[in-house]
Amino acid sequence: MNQSKKNKTRSAILHSAHTLFYENGFEETTVAEITKGAHVAKGTFFNHFPTKESILHALFEKQLLELLNQQHENLSSDTILTHIRSCLLFLLKDYDIHPSLTIQTLKHVIENEKRLHTYWVELLERAYETLSLKEREHYAHIINSHITYTMSAFHQESTRIGLVHRAMSLIETSFNAISLKRRSLLMKKLVVLGAGYGGMRVLQRLLPNDLPKDWEIILVDEMPYHCLKTEYYALAAGTASDHHLRVTFPEDARLHIKYATVTAIHAEDHAIELNNGETLPFDKLVIGLGCTDKYHGVPGADTYTYSIQTMSATRRTYEALNNVRPEGVVSIVGAGLSGVELASELRESRPDLSIKLFDRGESVMSQFPKKLSAYVQNWFVEHGVDVSNNSNITKVEPGALYNHDERIESDAVIWTAGVQPVQVVRDLDVEKDRSGRIKLTPQHFIPNHPDIFVVGDCASLPHAPSAQLAEGQAEQIVTILKHQWKEEPLPEEMPRIKLKGVLGSLGKKHGFGMMGERPLTGRVARILKSGVLWMYKYHSG
């Protein structure tokens, strides 16, 4: 039999099978019926097709060849999903007329024919030049798997468009998930521990335009927002709402947030351990985890006092103060800025309470000029706050504290008498000062660890910790990061961080502070503080 006759016989068999499959269905059609329709013997059928199923390949072959022969110029990762969709529409072009047979044919080809898989691999190679062959084959397998699943799960879909839409939803979801994971693995990581004033300023200065394209930022914090720690006293006293103390994080595709607690920092291994069991690698690290109360070895202080060092602790303190009985006694240990602001704010919010403020110095706010310190001390005298100067708290028990071993009944004791870096920083095996803060190079990174920076309360600096200092330090850390990313020499010294001053409140109408060398008291100082807070909340960064 010459080739022409063979081709004619093959075409006759295919035509007969095609007609019968459409009329009766694939399963219901027999080989005998096909050969009868083609006017050939049964043996002739098997000379051309080893099985009835092999006819499905032949019926699909022409359509598949047309697809394989198409030229696709300028294919990129941005257009690959669009192209897969157009391919599916082409392969399912007979679905609206013969849905069952079209599905059966396509499923059979996917399961038994590698040519479609190879076609996807070739497309992916052109769209993603950086993908390895193994990765391209994995993507191609995902495409075929999702098509097969769609054909089985949604075979009752009434239209070709609807069926393709369902398949593409699955494919696109998988592609996006894999792309994000792959992108995450390829991107270098700047990890910021803590969304305090320093960490927040780093985010604001790098996003959206100053972070290199091959870097991403991972922020680790327990809260879903930046908290205004300088205003915790007002939350505890009940004069400011929780919502009032929140600032949203910057929004950027390269900022990823993990809500967790840091349990360990492995400087040598460039890794962070989180309380959820996750190990987080980093290329650059900014430690800004803040501080916790320092109890100076006073028995019972860590157990029987309340704190305003964290948002969660301050919420508990607010609840405790709110539940103090009328004419109850509240004792505040420590007359620094936090203790003074809390005592004055509580005096206004709960005039029924007896408030006692315990201060180790000769007068409150002794770090300020005497005139200003005297103003604050007199404010307390005039407003009925009992200030105990030269105090020495020796013990705290349920319902009482001891000043020079004298028992003083108290319904609630608030501790504001000193801070120290959080435990995970204290556990870090690097050089620290007497307060447990990490000693740094002039460029704010740990000596011999140029990829690990420390900002804020955990850093050993010439000035007392403050929000303003943390922000100024963060500005300089960003400068150093930019030098490192550009592989430029680092400056040997950094400019002195200029602090504009300190402002404190005495309730809602009075205040105090230093602006440069100039002391401020009264309503002007309070208005200035309110203005600074407003500017930070709505115009920071």
- Model confidence pLDDT, tens digit, residues 357-373: 999 998 898 888 999 99
Q: What is the pLDDT of residues 34-52, one digit of tens each?
A: 888 888 888 888 888 888 7
Q: What contacts 169, CB < 8 A, 6 or more positions away?
A: none
C-alpha 171/C-alpha 371 separation (Å) is 72
* CA dist., res. 432 & res. 439, Å (int): 5
Single out the residue in 383, 401, 418 at which a domain terminates. 418
Rounded CA-CA distance 370/272 in Å is 46
pLDDT band at 79 (very low <50, low <70, confident <90, very high): confident
Angle at 258 between CA 311 and CA 207, to 5 degrees: 95
User: Is a pLDDT exceeding 80 seen at residue 184?
Assistant: no
Number of domains in the chain: 3
Residue type, position 130, single letter: T
67 and 91 in a single domain? The answer is yes
Q: How far apart are CA 465 and CA 435, in angstroms?
A: 12
Instruction: Please give the pLDDT value at position 337.
Output: 94
Residues 77-102 as b/e (b if ≥16 CB within 10 A, e otherwise) read eeebeebbbebbeebbebbeebbebb
Q: Provide the β-strand partners of residue 504.
A: 512
- Residue 24's pLDDT band, with cuts at 50, 70 and 90, is confident
Which residue, chain included where needed, has tokens 């994995």? 138
Per-residue pLDDT at 21 exceeds 60 = yes
- In this prediction, residue 467 carries a pLDDT of 94
Question: What pLDDT was estimated at residue 2?
Answer: 65
Choose between 11 and 412: higher pLDDT.
Answer: 412
Cβ(433)–Cβ(422) below 8 Å: no
Buried b (16+ CB within 10 A) or exposed e, 380-414: beebebebbeebebeebeeebbbbeeeebebbbbb
Is residue 336 within 8 Å of 365, Cβ to Cβ? Answer: yes
Same domain, 438 and 410: no
For residues 211 and 359, membership in a common domain is answered with no
Backbone torsions φ then ψ of 223, nearest 5 degrees: -110, 150
Q: What is the pLDDT of residues 220-230, one digit of tens each?
A: 999 999 999 99
Distances (CA, A) of 198 to 13, 229, 541: 78, 12, 12
Mean pLDDT of the 332-341 span: 96
Return the sign of the alpha-carbon dihedral for residues 48, 51, 57, 59: positive
Q: Which of 356, 380, 194 is CA-nearest to residue 285?
A: 194
Rg (CA), the chain: 36
User: Are the C-beta atoms of residues 344 and 507 closer than 8 Å to each other?
Assistant: yes
What's the burial of 56, exposed, middle or buried (CB within 10 Å: 0-12/13-18/19+)?
buried
Query: Tokens 């980093």 appear where?
Result: 282
| Residue 32, pLDDT score | 87
Give the model's confidence band at 70: pLDDT under 50 very low, under 70 low, under 90 confident, else very high: low
As a whole number, mean pLDDT of residues 429-446 equals 96
Q: Is residue 525 part of a domain?
A: no
Residue-range definition of the domain harbouring residue 97: 51-184
Q: What crossing angle do the helices spanning 80-91 and 54-68 adopt, rounded to 10°?
A: 140
Claim to verify: residue 389 and residue 403 sit in the same structural domain: yes
pLDDT in tens, 92-107: 887 887 788 788 778 7
Degrees (nearest 5) of the Cα angle 282, 288, 292?
130
> What percent of the chain has pLDDT above 90?
62
Q: Could you give the percent of the chain with pLDDT greater than 70?
A: 94
Q: Using CB atoms within 10 A of its CB, is residue 37 exposed (0-12), middle (13-18) or buried (19+)?
A: middle
Who wins on pLDDT, 21 or 224?
Answer: 224
Look at residues 160, 184, 208 and tell me which one is the last residue of a structural domain. Answer: 184
User: Which of 449, 422, 192, 385 is CA-nearest to residue 294?
Assistant: 422
- 121 and 99, same structural domain? yes
Residue 231 forms part of a structural domain: no
CB 257, CB 249: distance < 8 Å: yes
Classify residue 37: in a domain, yes or no: no
Count Cα neighbours of 154 within 13 Å in the Cβ-side half-sphere: 20
What are the pLDDT digits (tens) for 381-413? Answer: 999 999 999 999 999 999 999 999 999 999 999
* Least confident span in 32-41, 239-248, 249-258, 369-378: 32-41
316 and 390, same domain (yes or no): yes
Q: What are phi and psi of 373, to 5 degrees?
A: -60, -40
Residue 113 falls within a domain, yes or no?
yes
Residue 74 predicted with pLDDT over 90: no
Q: What confidence tier does 186 reach under pLDDT thresholds 50, 70, 90?
A: low
More confidently predicted of 15 and 130: 15
Give domain status of residue 301, yes or no: no
**Amino acid 10: pLDDT:** 82
Residues 441 and 485 placed together within one structural domain of the fold: yes
Element (H, E) at 37: helix 31-38
Q: What is the torsional sign of CA 436, 439, 440, 442?
A: positive
> Could you tell me if 176 and 55 lie in one domain?
yes
Predicted confidence at residue 469, as pLDDT, reads 95
User: Which residues, 6 or more positions from 418, have their beta carbon under 8 angstroms from its beta carbon?
Assistant: 293, 294, 295, 296, 334
Judged against a pLDDT cut of 90, whether residue 65 lies above it is answered with: no
> How does DSSP assign 410-460, residue by residue?
-SEEEE-S-EEE-HHHHTS-S-B-TTSPBP--TTSEETTEEEEEE-GGGB-
- For the chain, the average pLDDT equals 89
Q: Is the pLDDT of residue 185 over 70?
A: no
First-residue to last-residue Cα distance in the chain: 84
pLDDT-derived band of residue 176, with 50, 70 and 90 as boundaries? Answer: confident
- In this structure, of 69-78, 280-289, 463-472, the range with the lowest mean pLDDT score is 69-78
Residue pair 324/411 in contact by the 8 Å Cβ criterion: yes
Neighbours of 180 (CB within 10 A): 11
The residue-averaged pLDDT of 284-309 equals: 97
**Bridge partners of residue 414, in order along the sequence:** 306, 332
Q: Is 145 helix (H, G, I), strand (E, B) or coil?
A: helix
- Clarify whether residues 358 and 213 are in a common domain: no
Whether residue 71 lies inside any domain: the answer is yes
The residues, any chain, with a CB within 8 Å of residue 300's CB and separated by 6 or more, are 395, 396, 397
The reply to whether omega before 519 is within 30° of 0 (cis) is no
Q: How far apart are CA 87 and CA 424, in angstroms?
A: 55
Q: Name the one residue in this structure whose structure tokens are 């990581």.
A: 189
Could you tell me if 56 and 177 lie in one domain? yes
pLDDT at position 496 = 93
Residue 507 is assigned to a structural domain of this protein? no
Other beta carbons less than 10 A from residue 156's beta carbon: 7
Phi, psi of 272 (to 5 degrees): -120, 135
Sort strands 354-358 and 386-388 into parallel, antiparallel or unpaired: parallel
Residue that terminates a domain, selected from 418, 453, 473: 418
Assess if residue 512 is contained within a domain. no
**pLDDT > 80? residue 430:** yes
Residue 309's pLDDT band (cuts 50, 70, 90): very high
Q: pLDDT at position 214, please?
A: 86
Cβ-contact 142, 120 below 8 angstroms: no
Domain at 485, CATH number? 3.50.50.60
Residue 488 banded pLDDT, cuts 50, 70, 90:
very high
Judge if 437 and 383 occupy the same domain.
Answer: no
Q: Enter the DSSP assignment of 119.
A: H
- Is residue 136 domain-shared with residue 71, that is, in the same domain? yes
Per-residue model confidence (pLDDT) at position 256: 93
Out of 56-65, 102-111, 490-499, pick the least confident.
56-65
